[in-house]
Amino acid sequence: MPNQRIEVLIAIIMATLGEKKLLITRNLQEVLGEEKLNEILKTRDLKIYWGTATTGRPHVAYFVPMSKIADFLKAGCEVTILFADLHAYLDNMKAPWELLALRTQYYEAAIKAMLTSIGVPLEKLKFVRGTEYQLSKEYTLDVYRMSSVITEHDAKKAGAEVVKQVDHPLLSGLLYPGLQALDEEYLKVDAQFGGVDQRKIFTMAEKYLPQLNYAKRIHFMNPMVPGLTGGKMSASEEDSKIDLLDNPSNVKKKLKKAFCEPGNITENGVLSFTKHVVFPLMKPGETFKICRAPEHGGNVEYTDFEHLEAAFAKEEIHPGDLKVSVEQAINNLLAPIQEIFKDPKLQELTKKAYPPPSKAKGKGNTEVDDITPSKLDIRVGRIVDVSRHPDADALYVEKIDLGEEDPRTIVSGLVNFVPIEEMQNRDVVVLCNLKPAKMRGVESKGMVLCASIDEPKQVEPLLPPQGSNPGDKIVIEGYETGEPDDVLNPKKKVWEKLQVDLKTNDSLMAVWQGNKLISKINGNPTTTKSMKNAQIK
């Protein structure tokens, strides 16, 4: 009899242990140190931290880590949230020094509002700012100790996916991963949680903390959830993200652009949002409802993600209907946050921490690296009609199919370089978002990109990537994410500044700072027929 009771007791303990572990690890992509997790859970609850560098405005994708934090709390974990203010600066000054304190205040308010919105009791969490302890004597000495065990190679490798990669990397980017490792020790946690993009930093921490006689920690990694509006989850391309303060009509507008193909469940940001946010946050008995007119199958409800995903894969759920439900879910999540942010103090803070670009101007480094090649809208075009310009000998007037409803009129100075027969039906590479300009009375809505050498003058239109069709997008390798500008700002000379680094190289490839111009569809490179080391313009 007593034996039996003990067995039952053990079974109950094992079940709660199992349940805690399940909650802690569900939806994660990877866990490093699972055995240690099992050991700790046998005797006590886990201590864990999540850090966020206080850079760009947090947006709806931040609900993904937030809902994991809710899981950790449900599993009894002691959770610390680190506002990594120093890190925000070390990462290529993403937060300018003079805005650092304001951004940290904004993050604190925004993250707390998000947690409130999803029903997480704030008093159960610990909030810490990096500079509260990262400037102490002990910590500083440890940074120096760390910097004499970590090799430069390892520090660079560790930061490769997190620290912004630039042409002239700063020393600060090498310090970043080491500080993050030390944070684990100074926050007195068993585990760190982050996106899988942090993996190299995590493994570096595992390698080097023991060399300073500190314990190796457990690491939990969320998958990189595809963004709702394209690109990976990052706060750096504000316009393309759904901001916490976006009103319902903005949410609708941005969600409209979300990639969500009928039946396609890979890279589907809308579906992923339900998996990582909507379902995990549902209370017992709640369902995810798709509302449809009776002639479209009527309403359906789902209690788990797997069934919703299967139905979507079978095209039983239309992307439009899914988006409507997700839009509702997002608005429900945002409403309480926006209520909190009605506070005039917070409105003032929002304005100060993220001054609109025009006001930030002249403040020097607040717009670091504003000009990236993802601003360019480059597409494959097919010349469907071509004629000589009525008033200019050197110019052709082309009608180019760019995958839009109507072909665009584009004027190019190619008469002396390409015979008119070779222009007809030719596939070309077109810069589509130049400000339209009249050329001798004919408005040109774009530019055919060519390799060009001045002495002696030679010009050759670029060759589109193999297997391309009109309208296919061309992106610069390494800069695939981010929406191109509607129109490249002529006052800021965006095109001119990017153009200086556009060239063809020795192997006839079109490159920007050495990165290929590739088809977004099939990855093939843009090339030129014969002109090596020429400017592209």
For ligand NAG, which residue of 27, 131, 264, 458 counts as binding (CB under 6 A)? Answer: 264
Concatenate the DSSP letters of all residues of 165-224 into one string.
P-SS--THHHHHHHHHHHHHHHTT-SEEEEEGGGHHHHHHHHHHGGGGT-PPPEEEEE--
Closest CA to 381 of 348, 429, 344, 419: 429
**Cα 131 from Cα 219, distance rounded (Å):** 23
Tokens at 441, concatenated: 């009375």
**Cα 106 from Cα 278, distance rounded (Å):** 25
**Cα 182 from Cα 164, distance rounded (Å):** 21
Distance of closest approach, residue 124 Cβ to ligand NAG, in angstroms: 39
For ligand NAG, which residue of 303, 505, 513, 524 counts as binding (CB under 6 A)? Answer: 505
**Cα 451 from Cα 502, distance rounded (Å):** 9
Tokens at 361, concatenated: 């101007």
For ligand NAG, which residue of 59, 129, 408, 516 counts as binding (CB under 6 A)? Answer: 516
Distance of closest approach, residue 514 Cβ to ligand NAG, in angstroms: 5
Q: Which position's Cβ is nearest ligand NAG? A: 506
Q: For ligand NAG, how many residues bind (rule: CB under 6 A)? A: 11
Burial 66-93 (b: 16+ CB within 10 A, else e): bbbbbbbbebebbbbbbbbbbbbbbbbb
Distances (CA, A) of 420 to 272, 385, 423, 424: 50, 10, 5, 7
Q: Does 315 contact ligand NAG by CB under 6 A?
A: no
State which residue, 338 or 505, has the beta carbon closest to ligand NAG. Answer: 505
**Cα 268 from Cα 257, distance rounded (Å):** 12
Distance of closest approach, residue 272 Cβ to ligand NAG, in angstroms: 12
Q: Does 514 contact ligand NAG by CB under 6 A?
A: yes
Q: Does 509 contact ligand NAG by CB under 6 A?
A: yes
Distance of closest approach, residue 477 Cβ to ligand NAG, in angstroms: 8
Q: Does 338 contact ligand NAG by CB under 6 A?
A: no
Mention every residue, 6+ apart, whose C-beta is less than 8 A from residue 222. 27, 28, 29, 64, 65, 68, 193, 194, 195, 196, 276
State which residue, 130 or 226, has the beta carbon closest to ligand NAG. Answer: 226
Q: Compute the half-sphere exposure of residue 304: CA atoms within 13 Å on the CB side of its CA.
A: 4
Distance of closest approach, residue 533 Cβ to ligand NAG, in angstroms: 9
State which residue, 280 or 525, has the beta carbon closest to ligand NAG. Answer: 525
Q: Does 167 contact ligand NAG by CB under 6 A?
A: no
Q: Does 507 contact ligand NAG by CB under 6 A?
A: yes
State which residue, 113 or 228, has the beta carbon closest to ligand NAG. Answer: 228
Tokens at 298, concatenated: 């009527």
- How far is the first Cα of the chain from the last one, in angstroms, to the nearest whole number? 87
Q: Does 267 contact ligand NAG by CB under 6 A?
A: yes
Query: How many residues appear in the chain?
Result: 537
How far does Cα 349 stand from its chain's mean position? 24
State which residue, 185 or 501, has the beta carbon closest to ligand NAG. Answer: 501
Distance of closest approach, residue 385 Cβ to ligand NAG, in angstroms: 32
Residue listed under structure tokens 């110019």: 395
Q: Which stretch binds ligand NAG (CB under 6 A): 154-162, 371-379, 395-403, 507-515?
A: 507-515
Distance of closest approach, residue 472 Cβ to ligand NAG, in angstroms: 13
Q: Which stretch binds ligand NAG (CB under 6 A): 68-76, 96-104, 200-208, 503-511?
A: 503-511
For ligand NAG, which residue of 261, 286, 370, 422 counts as binding (CB under 6 A)? Answer: 261
Q: Which stretch binds ligand NAG (CB under 6 A): 57-65, 206-214, 441-449, 501-509?
A: 501-509
Dihedral, CA of residue 302, residue 305, residue 311 and residue 312, to nearest 10:
120
Q: Does 506 contact ligand NAG by CB under 6 A?
A: yes
Report the interface residues with ligand NAG, using CB under 6 A. Answer: 261, 264, 266-267, 505-507, 509, 511, 514, 516
